[in-house]
Amino acid sequence: MNEDLNGIEALAYELRKFPPSLEFVANALVSDESLYDEAAANHEKFWERQARELVDWNEPWTKVCEWDLPYSEWFVGGKLNVSFNCLDRHVLAGKGNKVAFFWEGEPGDTRVVTYSELLDEVQKFANVLKSLGVEKGDRVNIYLPMIPEAAVAMLACARIGAAHSVVFGGFSSQALADRINDAEAKVLITADGGWRRGEVFPLKSQADDAVKLTSTIEHVVVVKRGGNDVEMQEGRDHWYHEIMETASAVCPAEPMDSEQLLFLLYTSGTTGKPKGIMHTTGGYLTHVAYTFKYVFDHKPETDIFWCTADVGWVTGHSYIVYGPLANGATQVMYEGVPNFPGTDRMWSIIEKYRATIFYTAPTAIRTYMKWGTQEPAKHDLSSLRLMGSVGEPINPEAWMWYHEHIGGGKCPIVDTWWQTETGGIMIAPLPGVTVTKPGSATRPLPGVGAELVDELGRSVTKGGGYLTLTKPWPGMLRGIWGDQNRYRETYWSRFSDRYFAGDGAKLDDEGYLWLLGRVDDVMNVSGHRISTTEVESALVSHPSVAEAAVVGASDATTGQAIIAYVTLRGGLEVDEKVLRDHVAQEIGAIAKPKTIYFTPDLPKTRSGKIMRRLLRDVAEGRNLGDTTTLADASVVNELQRRAVETPTED
């Protein structure tokens, strides 16, 4: 604990440890400290070796890193093509018949896409984009379900030097329009619809509504997936399958400058205006190729990788498209939700394709916990050899459930911390080296500099603090599109000589990092800065609790009061007082929730993120903000009703 309260309270630590098995270590790509030692000895030379070994270059660089805080350039003067690195070089090496994607649609339809087939499709679509007037430096918006054409569109843009801006298919037409307008996109790629929970959700109609609010879209390309009726505007709208019929399958990959803009990806901003995060070519590809290879201990000849993210998020960019394909991986891609037609859908897919590496979100894991151990028990998951988590801190009990019931107690778990802004994984175990602890992302990867500091920027060597990054890294964002002042203010103003991630973390006695979530989610209770993550973890550690979300609500006495929303495991019940006392026992009386609301579900976006902002609105009796991105808006209405009926604890 920081006695001067300039940091974040560290209230609980996990003592369980899990070393990698001797068998895993014997076959691991890295089984000692050599990568860490190499990176510590010379930061730039370490990254230079990764770029040289993992990426094919058309022209060599003249300088590894140009660093003028807060701006970096990597592999200056080098030229390469990302699409070539992800496709052509594997085909030229005789691996064209290797499967790139086992795709499974939600209704059960399937496709198998080889590297040769993917390359042909990408070259054709790159020529389509050219025929629609797209040139190097233009921006293209992509608004698609989880279908192979999403990867095709991204790689086709990269092939000709057009920057793509992928928008998650669950976003509203207004959100799409905002992103089109900010990027001044020339072409929009969408679909008639996609499958979700057994029904087709429309995309083309949403796209049409968005385009009405924009002025730069010249053409709309529509993939036929849902089979639902759509309106096609003559001259502007084109069916993907029709325009591809006449496209040439030859489109040479054009060498791009290492700092050529590869994509924009919009992330939420505190001002309400989304931030267009800029990622460029050479450094980003090096970073995601390196982290995919070593964090997942990837063996291209035998592994089948499944990342459950959507391509609309950075996880889908980095660990479905660019990182895996650069490494010649075979992947599973799934279109739909995890509970259609049954709550064992994910486990049936692992069994069907004999997936060896599974990468998913803690929110999803807690949902699987709620559905019960009998669901994964129906399926043979013995093919799994490594598992990962991404998107938010994973609480220890969810980690243990994942370890025991999905990994069979034998699979190392790589808990990964990174952001849209970082491009790729920054903090994670190396599975053949690291002794893991449930809930800890362990330590920065080789080549990554990270440090905890207090409010005054002083180093924190034990306890809670603010997570900062101290060295430039190849995959780092290159700024905010059209607003570099906002870039400086958002990421580089809190601590003058380093990047501030916006996340809190704590260090234990052994130097392990434990992520505590956004500092916006730190509550100030009677002068104690308490992370919502720690209280949530304490609640979920009770055997009756499947999932919990905690927020701070204004309180006249304590400044903020801790309000908890709890979902119980199927068929179980527990008294509110029992849970409050359990939290006190786990992390201290100061962290006891003032009120606990029991709810069958929590308000989540379609990507699975809990919308704590809405929970704060409920707790403080305010009118609800925007609920358009919720998977099920009725959840918050039910919570409002319960809030009126539930007495608070004195």
Domains with residue ranges and CATH for the chain: 22-504 (3.40.50.12780), 526-645 (3.30.300.30)
What's the rounded Cα separation, in Å, for the pair 49 and 627?
A: 47
Mean pLDDT lowest among 151-160, 261-270, 274-283:
261-270
- Other residues' Cβ atoms within 10 Å of the Cβ of residue 465: 25
CA-nearest of 521, 594, 602, 527 to 568 is 602
What residues does 113 pair with on adjacent strands?
101
- Is pLDDT of 98 > 90? yes
| 547 contacts 602 by C-beta, under 8 angstroms | yes
How many Cα atoms within 13 Å fall on the side-chain side of residue 382? 1
Rounded to whole angstroms, how far apart are CA atoms 608 and 625? 18
Give me the amino acid identity at 503: D
* CB 416 within 8 Å of CB 537: no
Q: How confident is the model at residue 614, as a pLDDT?
A: 81
Cα(539)–Cα(565) distance, integer angstroms: 10
Mean model confidence pLDDT for the chain: 91
Measure the CA angle with vertex 310, ends 367 and 171; round to 5°. 95
pLDDT at 650: 43
Report the alpha-carbon distance of residue 629 to residue 606 in Å, rounded: 7
**Residue 632: is it exposed, middle or buried by C-beta count within 10 angstroms (0-12/13-18/19+)?**
middle
pLDDT at position 273 is 73
Query: 227-234: which pairs have CB atoms within 8 A and are 24 or more residues apart?
Result: 227/192, 227/193, 227/200, 228/192, 228/193, 228/200, 228/202, 228/204, 230/192, 230/193, 230/202, 230/204, 230/205, 231/204, 231/205, 233/208
Lowest mean pLDDT among 82-91, 184-193, 345-354, 489-498: 489-498
What is residue 269's predicted lDDT score, i.e. its pLDDT? 54
Lowest mean pLDDT among 15-29, 597-611, 616-630: 616-630
Given this model, what pLDDT does residue 270 score? 47
**556 SS3 class:** coil
Among 91-105, 324-338, 512-526, where is mean pLDDT lowest? 512-526
Res 588 pLDDT > 80 = no
pLDDT tens digits along 241-265:
999 999 999 999 999 999 999 999 9
Higher per-residue confidence, 277 vs 172: 277
Q: Computed over its alpha carbons, how large is the radius of gyration of the chain?
A: 24
**Which residue carries 């938010």 as its tokens?**
392
DSSP-assigned beta bridge partners for residue 332: 102, 306
Mean pLDDT for 223-235 is 97
Q: Identify the pLDDT of residue 274.
A: 80
> What pLDDT is stored for residue 170 in this prediction?
83
Among candidate residues 127, 166, 125, 160, the one with its CA nearest the CA of residue 143 = 166
Q: How far apart are CA 546 and CA 525, in angstroms?
A: 25
* pLDDT top residue among 412 and 554: 412
The residue ranking higher by pLDDT, 212 or 519, is 212
pLDDT tier for residue 533 given thresholds of 50, 70 and 90: confident
Tens of pLDDT, residues 407-418: 999 999 999 999
Task: Output the pTM of the full model.
Answer: 0.86
- The conformation of residue 255, written as its DSSP 8-state character, comes to P
pLDDT at 12 (0 to 100): 62
- The confidence band for 4, taking pLDDT boundaries of 50, 70 and 90, is very low
At residue 521 the predicted structure's pLDDT band, cuts being 50, 70 and 90, is: confident
pLDDT at residue 199, as a whole number? 96
Share of the chain above pLDDT 90, in %: 77
Q: Tell me: pLDDT of 89 over 80.
A: yes
CA distance linking residue 542 with residue 540, whole number of Å: 5
- For 378-391, b/e burial (b = at least 16 CB within 10 A) is eeebeebbbbbbbb
Q: What confidence category does residue 526 fall into, taking pLDDT thresholds of 50, 70 and 90?
A: low
Q: Which residue's entry shows tokens 């698609």?
A: 144
β-bridge partners, 568: 545
Residue 566's pLDDT is what? 93
Per-residue confidence (pLDDT) for residue 271, from 0 to 100: 46
* Top-confidence residue, 573 or 442: 442
**Distance in angstroms between the alpha carbons of the first and the last residue of the chain:** 27
Average pLDDT rounded to a whole number, residues 455-464: 93
Alpha-carbon separation of residue 26 from 23, 29, 203, 297 (angstroms): 5, 9, 48, 12
Please report which confidence band the pLDDT of residue 1 belongs to, taking 50, 70 and 90 as the band edges. Answer: very low
3-state secondary structure at position 134: coil
Mean pLDDT of 178-192: 97
d(CA 368, CA 200): 24
Structure tokens at 499: 């990047």
Contact 556, 379 (CB under 8 A): no
